[in-house]
Amino acid sequence: MEIIDEERKTKNISASALKETVQEKKSINFFEYADQTLEKMYLNITENTYRVYRTFLNKFKRFVGSEVAYTCK
């Protein structure tokens, strides 16, 4: 998105600037992120809602077949 904003401002963007922007993106583990988010939500949701969310997350892990699923930040 940053590169798109820059292009809108200048109407011109170099290939090297585009390459730098793409290479800066770090991957994060989706399941680590989901676990952390769910733990943060724990105090603000009911116990039953927490169990439902946890169950769906675990089912998704089994569906993917791994606890490692990366996504771009």
Domain of 22 in residue numbering reads as 2-72
Whole-number pLDDT of residue 27: 72
Could you give the number of structural domains in the chain? 1
Helix/strand/coil (H/E/C) assignment for every residue in 6-44: HHHHHCCCCHHHHHHHHHHCCEEEHHHHHHHHHHHHHHH
Per-residue pLDDT reduced to its tens digit, 1-60: 555 565 556 667 677 776 666 666 667 788 888 999 999 999 899 999 999 999 999 999
